[in-house]
Structure 1
C-alpha cells in the first residue's frame, strides 16, 4: 500500500469517526490524517504536488466535519452567557415579587396591630360607660 493510499484510508477512518491511532472525535486536518496513517505530524505538505488532491479531500472533509460538529466553544460561551442573563433577569423578577410580598405582609401586620389596639381601646371605653359608679 502506497503512502497516498495509507493517507486516504486514514482519512476515511477519520470521516467515519473510527480511527485506530488518534482519539475518536479528533478534528480532521493534515496532521491528524498523517498520524492516523502512521506517519509523523507534518508529513503531508502543500509543497508536494502528489499531495494536492489529498489536501483538497482533507480540507473538504474538515469543512463537513465542522458543519456537523457541536457548537464551537465561542458559540457555547455565548449560549451560556445568554442563559445566565435570562436566569439573572428571572431571579431579579422573583426578588422584586418577594420584596413586594414582604411589604404587603408588613403593611397588613401593621394594620392588624392598629386594629387590635383600637378594639382594646373600644372595649375599655365600652366597659367604662357601662359601669355605674356607686358612691
Structure 2
C-alpha cells in the first residue's frame, strides 16, 4: 500500500471514529491523519499532498469537529456535573419547603378538627 493510500485509509478511519493507532475521539487534522497512517507528525505537506490536505479540510467540515479532545470532554463533563448538582440542590431545597408547608397544614388541620369536635 502506498503512503497516499495509507493516508486516505487513516482519514476514513478517523472520520468513522474507529482509529487503529490513535485513541477514539481524536481530532481530524494533518498530524493525526499522518500518525494514524503510521507516519511521523508533519509528514503531510500541502505542497506535496494538496488533494489530501483538501480532503482532510473537507472531512473536518463534514464531521464538524464534534469530536472533542480529552481535556475538552473533561471540562464538558465537569460543567454538566455542576449543572446537575445545582439542579439537585434546588430540588432538595424546594422539597424541604414543601415538606414544611405540608406539615404546617397537617398540624393546622388537626387543630381545627380538634376544636370542632369538642
Determine the C-alpha separation between the residues in 2 that align with 1:22 and 1:67.
Answer: 16
The answer for the alignment partner of 2:60 in structure 1 is 62
Q: Which has the bigger relative contact order, CA under 8 A and spacing at least 6?
A: 2
The answer to whether the aligner puts 1:17 opposite 2:17 as a matched pair is: yes
The answer to whether the aligner puts 1:95 opposite 2:101 as a matched pair is: no
The answer for the alignment partner of 1:123 in structure 2 is none
Shift of 1:84: 4.5
Which SS does the other structure have where 1:39 is aligned? coil
Determine the C-alpha separation between the residues in 1 that align with 2:14 and 2:56.
Answer: 10
Change (3 A) 1:38 1:52: same
Aligned residues between the structures? 113
Shift of 1:88: 3.9
Q: CA RMSD in A?
A: 3.5
Which SS does the other structure have where 1:96 is aligned? helix
Shift of 1:78: 5.6
Shift of 1:57: 1.2
The answer for the alignment partner of 1:49 in structure 2 is 47
Superposition TM-score, scaled by structure 1 size: 0.58
Structure 2: tracts of 5 or more residues without a match: none
Native 8 Å contact 2:29 2:60 kept in 1: yes
TM alignment of 1:99-118, pairs within 5 A: 99-108=100-109, 115=115
Superposition TM-score, scaled by structure 2 size: 0.64
The answer for the alignment partner of 1:6 in structure 2 is 6
